[in-house]
Structures are given as structure tokens and as C-alpha cells.
Amino acid sequence: MSSSHAHSAHPPSAVEDLSKPLHERYHAASHFKDREHEFDSVKMGVWLFLATEILLFSGMFCAYFIFRLMHPEAFIGGGHHLEVKWGLINTIVLLMSSYWVAAAVRHAQTGNQKWLQINIILTFFAGAAFLFIKFFFEYWHKIQVGLLPGKFYHYTGHADPYEPMWWGVYWGATGIHASHVIVGMGLFAWLYFRSRKGHFGPGHYNAVEGVGLYWHIVDIVWIFLFPLLYLIH
């Protein structure tokens, strides 16, 4: 107890109005001036973190472009194995989820607890739907026919000798993206349980805002991955 509260310089007032919801009783950590100061700092931290995420993926994109230049036939041949249908559906799913998460932030700002929770749940299930489509309709099929990365590759119908490398890039890029979606779903589950306890409202919605920004980045990365992997032949 002592260590975690050691920084609380604003001692809780002797008589706290327990009838107020939690988000109104929220105190910023003691090294901040007030809630707004904390909110600004958190937001800046999240943006910096997102910058690192973008740089992480840009390394992946960079590899994609370099190998595409080196082995264009392999990338065209590999891309033909992907079904645009599922890529498109997943794009729509993610775009809708982006809308829902934006709405969640909006409802947190206005204190609409019911719709806040509904939107968080919707986003969570959009993420789940994305993963379901990815794993069940796409990955599963590729695992069965042997379109796997590197040494697990045992598909026999490829035309270009370097097609296995395309699958290395495909699995690498979509795998890292999918792992971000999984992390995002975990965060939405966490948000949901906190929102049920009334943690978020007009005065305090740092976490909703931060996770929302993260989810937008996950979405944007997919917006780039979709044409690069599925559409450009």
C-alpha cells in the first residue's frame, strides 16, 4: 500500500462524497498539477508510443518494397493466392471498429456510460471477427496447402522459385499485425471491466483515449497492408 500511494500528495479529503461516480472522484497522480495536466502528458506519451509502432511497421514495409523490387514475379505470383474478398471484408470490419472506438471516446467524454460500454463491446467483437476471418478463412487454408513461411513451406504449385520468400513476408507482416489486434482486444476487455465500474467519464477517460488511438494505428496499418498484399499484382 505504502509504496503505491507514496506519491499521492493530495490527501483524500476527510469526507469524500461517495455518491459521486468514480470518474468524478478521480485524482491525478501527485506529480501532475491536475487532471488536465495528466491527460495531456498521457496523450503525448501515447502518441510517442504510436510513433514507435509506425516505425516498427515501416521497417516491415521497407523490407516488403525492397524484396518486391528484387523479385517482382514472386510477389505477383504469391499475391494471386490471396482472396481479395476476405481482405476487403476484414478492411470493412476494421473500419467499422474504428468508428465504434471513436464513438466510445465520444461517449466517455459526455459520460454516456451505456453507449460507452456498448461501443467498447462492439469494437472488441470487431477485433474478434477480424481474427476469426483471418485465421479460419485465410491462415487455415494456407496451412492446409502448405503456403507457410520458410522451412515449413511445402506448397508445390508455385511458378517462381522465390515465392517462399513472399510467404515469409506475408506471414511476418500479417502475423505482427494480428498480434497487435490480439493485444488490442485484451485492452478493450480491460476497458470494458473498468467502464462497468464507472471509471470513465468527462473528467477522466485517459485510458479510453489512449487505447482508441492505438486501435486507429492498428487499423491504419491494415489499410496499408491490404492493398500491398492483396491488390497490387
Partner 1 sequence: MSAGYGHHGSYLEYKGGHNDPFWTVKLPRTIWDWASTIDHKKIGVMYLCAILFMFFLGGMMAIFVRTELFNPNTVTTIAGKTVVAHNWIGQHMGVGENIAKSNEYYNRTMTLHGVIMVFLVIVPSVPASLGNFLLPLMIGAKDVAFPRLNLLSWYVYLVGSIFAVMSLVSGGVDTGWTFYTPYSTMTDDGYLRVVWMVTAAFILGFSSIFTGLNFVVTVHKLRAPGMGWFDMPLFVWGIYGAAIIQVLATPVIGITLLLMIFERTFHIGIFDPRMGGDPVLFQHFFWFYSHPVVYVMILPGLAIMNEMIATGARKPIFGYRAVAFSTLAIAGISFIVWGHHLFTSEGEVAAVVFSAITFLVAIPSAVKIFNWIATLYKGSICLNTWNLYALAFLFLFSIGGLTGLFLGSLAVDMHLHDTYFVVAHFHYVMMGGTIIAFIGGIHFWWPKMFGKMYSEIGGTIGFVLVFIGFNLTFFPQFVMGSQGMPRRYANYVEEYHLYHMLSTMGAYTLLAGFLTHLVTFLHSLAAGKKAPPNPWGSLTLEWTNASSPPIEHNFDHEPVVVHGPYDYDNVIPPQTKPGEFVLPRPAAVAIQH
Partner 2 sequence: MTMTLPTTLGQQWLKEYFFSSIGASSQAADTENLFIYILWINIISFVLLMILLVYFVAKFHRSKQATNYQVSAAHNTPLELTWSIVPLLVMIPIFYWGFTGFADKLAAPQDSEEITIKGKQWKWSMFYRNGASPQSDEMELLHTGQKVTHFIVPLNRPVKFIMSSSDVIHAFYVPDFRTKMDVIPNRYTSMWFYPQKLTDMTINPITGKPKNPPHKVYCAEYCGQDHSEMGAYMSVVPVKEYEDTIRQWTDYPKTITLLKVGEAVWSRKGCNSCHSVDGSKSTGPTWKGMYGAKHSYTNGESDKLVDENWLRRNILYSQERILLHEDDNKVAYPTSMPIFAGQINELEMEGVILYIKSLSDATKAAAENAGKITVQEYRDKEKAAKEGGTAAPAAPPAKP
Q: How far is the CB of 84 from partner 1 (least distance, A)?
A: 24
Of the candidate spans 5-13, 79-87, 99-107, 183-191, the one that interacts with partner 1 by CB under 8 A turns out to be 5-13
Identify the residue among 12, 161, 175, 202 touching partner 2 (CB under 8 A): 161
Cell of 55: 516505425
- Under the binding rule (CB under 8 A), the answer on residue 156 touching partner 1 is no
Q: How far is the CB of 155 from partner 2 (least distance, A)?
A: 8
- Under the binding rule (CB under 8 A), the answer on residue 162 touching partner 2 is yes
Amino acid at residue number 59: G
Distance, CA of 74 to CA of 148 (rounded, Å): 15
- Under the binding rule (CB under 8 A), the answer on residue 157 touching partner 2 is yes
Of the candidate spans 13-21, 111-119, 148-156, 225-233, the one that interacts with partner 1 by CB under 8 A turns out to be 148-156
| Neighbouring C-beta atoms of residue 22, cutoff 10 Å | 15
Judge residue 27's burial from the number of C-beta atoms within 10 Å of its C-beta, 0-12 exposed, 13-18 middle, 19 or more buried: middle
Distance, CA of 54 to CA of 72 (rounded, Å): 25
Q: Which residue has the cell 489499410?
A: 223
Identify the residue among 171, 200, 214, 230 touching partner 1 (CB under 8 A): 171
Residue 158's SS3 state is coil
Q: How far is the CB of 95 from partner 1 (least distance, A)?
A: 25
